[in-house]
Amino acid sequence: MLRQTMEATTSDINWLSAVELSVLFRSGELSPCEAVAASFSRIAAVDPHLNAFCALDEERAMRDAQHSETRFSAGVPLGPLDGVPVAIKDLTPTAGLRTAMGSRLFADNIPEHDAIVVERLRAAGAIIVGKTTTSEFANASVTDSPLTGSTCNPWDPSRSSGGSSGGSAVAVATGCVPLAEGSDMGGSVRIPACFCGVLGLKPALGRIPFALMPSLYDPIAHHGPLARSVDDIVAFLHVTAGPDDRDPISLPASTACDAPLASDLAGVRVAFSPDLGFLSVESDVMDNARAATKRLEEAGAVVETVDLGLSEALYDAGYKLFSARIYQYYGHLESAHRDVLDPTLLHFFDIGRSLSAADLVDTEMMVSREWQTMVRLFESYDVLACPTMPRTATPLGKSEFDFNGCDTEGKSITFDMTFPFNLFGRLPALTLPSGLGQDGLPTGLQLVGRRHDERTILSLAHILHAPDIWNARLRDLGPWTNKPTDGARK
């Protein structure tokens, strides 16, 4: 029996998916208490070297696991995530558990209420084991904050985990949890998922209610899951998606992800853009993306390389819209606390305060014109495929502002290839590993679906992703000998 095998080593538990855990809980071969204990054991081994967690909730988690175990014994589990260890990003409020948002100014902040996404996870029986590191107020595409320091990449601790959901990506990639929550305002789920070799989904805007910010009409903010399997992404959506009046732009209930994913791709039309029309992409990243689309063809899809023709001005637009919001949300803290705020955050403040209302409307009009490019694309295709990031994980200490200018072919050098699909927020976007670069680090393929159509991109990802191969690669990572020292420790 599996229980006898697990007694020899708890490490095997850490590499089971959420869906696999649920099957074993139902059969009685494994208990939620054993799974949660294994999670904390793995966190203790990993976190001193990589810095993925900034707060743990072991006492409540074990108590909740016991309640879950009782439900399974009675044959009345709450759903596919009952008893499953899950991690929550430090931006997302958790009642009774510190939510510092990566900031020294909120180091003692204990929310009274859960965010909607956390409410729904708890109601489905998921066990919240702790909070994962993020940049200050999730402002950056890397995970490095004045409070918690840098979060290292498990493939190479001298490299960034990406951000701003870097802690969540590392927690999943190292087997601390099978599933973690992140938030995505410019790629903050997909960037770290790509850098760390796991899957990450930015659902369609409003699919999972998002009511964290002072403005309830934020057009770029999404909750999304990070996982090692597509089935776990689907399970996360199953329990967290759906309308809530606290988020006025949340979408009506959808059964799209309740139905089985497509098992073949006959008739599915995929547009492949190696560079979105204007971006500098490293050759190994592009080669791996092309190879992944070849596998889609073998599964029955029709794949055509397209000249997408988007404008590089999208990135300028994205920075303006993001900076304006960050400045309006947090700029009031600058005058009294400038010396303890993240320099990247201050850079966004500078951009945000320089913008007029007319500037922002001009930006929104430009994005509206670019939206027509996507409308024309989806008249002929079901999915857009492109690399997720133009390169593998960047060195620690670099930020998105270190990537600019043009390459020798005149292509724009940017940090990511994710930001445009936050500006087109109704389009869901998913990243999955596409291979390894020349430096041995993961590369990613990004799949972008039609408006509100998560199911198609999840179906493609389910056929493309090889969890056994990637789990084996992830299990082989480490041991790590570094000890991150910058930033205040837990």
Element (H, E) at 185: none
Q: Where are the domains of the chain?
A: 12-475
Active site residue 165: no
Say how many residues make up the chain: 490
For 146-165, write each residue's pLDDT tens digit: 999 999 999 999 999 999 99
> How high is the mean pLDDT of the chain?
95
Given the residues 68, 188, 250, 273, select the one marked as catalytic.
Answer: 188
Give the global pTM. 0.96
Instruction: Report the half-sphere exposure of 427 (CA within 13 A, side-chain side).
Output: 25
Per-residue pLDDT tens over the stretch 313-362: 999 999 999 999 999 999 999 999 999 999 999 999 999 999 999 999 99
The runs of H, that is alpha helices, within 94-135 are 116-123
User: 421: closest CA among 371, 472, 350?
Assistant: 371
Whether the per-residue pLDDT at 489 is higher than 60: the answer is no
Q: Which of 89, 131, 202, 320 is catalytic?
A: 89
* Structure confidence by residue, pLDDT tens digits, 90-105: 999 999 999 999 999 9
pLDDT-based confidence at residue 473 (cuts at 50, 70, 90): very high
Work out the pLDDT band at 263, boundaries 50, 70, 90.
confident
68 is catalytic: no
Over residues 460-481, mean pLDDT:
96
- Provide φ and ψ at 336, rounded to 5°: -90, -15
Grade residue 417 by pLDDT with cuts at 50, 70 and 90: very high
- Name, in order, each residue with C-beta under 8 angstroms of 265's C-beta and a sequence gap of 6 or more: 296, 299, 300, 301, 459, 460, 463
Mean pLDDT computed over 178-186 = 98
CATH of domain 12-475: 3.90.1300.10
Order of strands, sheet of 199-202, starting from the edge strand that comes earlier in the sequence: 53-56, 127-132, 85-89, 179-184, 222-227, 199-202, 429-436, 442-449, 383-387, 269-272, 302-305
Annotation says 164 is catalytic: yes
Q: Which of 164, 168, 229, 323 is catalytic?
A: 164
